Amino acid sequence: MLLTYENRSNKITVEWKSSTHVPPHLHEAMEIIYVTEGTVELGVGQELHHMNTGDFAIVFPNVIHHYQVFGGGENKVMYLFAEQTLFPSYVDGLQKYSPQLPVICKENVHPDIVNAMIRLADFKEYNDMLVQAYVQIILAHVFSEMKMVEKETVGGNDIIYNAVEYVAKKFREEICLDKMACDLGVSKYVLSRMFSKTFHCNFSQYVNGVRLNYATSVLENTQESITNICLDCGFESQRTFNRVFKERYKMTPRDYRNRSCKYKREDD
């Protein structure tokens, strides 16, 4: 069964499906995993974590992970993908930190976690307030049960991890491919090929994508002026910000705020 909640931001997706081998990948959403039957191997960083029925795991945004299945029989998993706009107060922490050990064994999984995931899967219609409430219940137990470490300690020396971590920390600043390559100690041509092959975009497009993800969160959840948001995201001018924003969302930042959030400003 595949159940997807869709709204204009695709804020949350819930999937029940048989687990299969999934190659290394990463995304802006937080990924929550709950094994309902069988076993699965979750790879995060350089480690492979074995998961049995009833085990729970979480992968923070922009952390490369993969799945492997070695056991026979049915191996079924519930996946929940939650966009960062659901918890704006946690965005900075989710960009900087990651659980040292991403798995909680069945005997230590609080019933509230399972109940929250089931309720999210049972929704017939998307309800923004309820979704946020249930996701924050899950996060409350994650933060109390899991030790957080800086993401760079999870990724090791992998160039993709280092590139993602670098942009996540510096996207509000003026950054360029040459400086990033110098800071990471690699060729800019290697970096350029990595962005093209891994993310299917160039360096500027990737950086702007990170900036826009942050901008939409601020637009939806604060009363900050669009001018200040533009500058805080690292764009050189509001004209550039508006152009890039419209290319991606097919509307202006002001229209986006008016349509998708509870905060509206007359002076934007």
CA separation (Å) from 130 to 91, 100, 125, 136?
A: 19, 29, 11, 10
Domain segments of the chain as ranges: 2-151, 157-260
CATH architecture of the domain 157-260 equals Orthogonal Bundle (1.10)
Instruction: Please give the residue that has the higher pLDDT: either 23 or 106.
Output: 106
Q: What is the pTM for the complete model shown?
A: 0.67
Instruction: Please give the residue that has the higher pLDDT: either 17 or 266.
Output: 17
Write out pLDDT tens, residues 161-195: 788 878 888 898 999 999 999 999 999 999 999 88
The separation between the first and the last C-alpha atoms of the chain, rounded to the nearest angstrom, is: 44
- How far is residue 36's CA from residue 52's CA, in Å, rounded to a whole number? 8
CA separation (Å) from 14 to 4, 84, 128?
A: 6, 15, 15
211-238 per-residue burial string, b: 16 or more CB within 10 A, e: under 16: bbbbbbbbbbbeebebeebbeebbbeeb
Sign of torsion over alpha carbons 132, 145, 25, 162: positive
Write out pLDDT tens, residues 81-138: 988 877 878 888 888 899 999 999 999 999 999 999 999 888 777 777 888 899 999 9
The CATH number corresponding to 2-151 among 3.40.50.1110, 2.60.120.10, 3.40.50.2300, 3.30.43.10 equals 2.60.120.10
Q: Taking residues 144-168, what's their average pLDDT?
A: 81
Contact between 82 and 135 (Cβ < 8 Å) = yes
The answer, yes or no, to whether residue 247 has pLDDT greater than 90, is yes
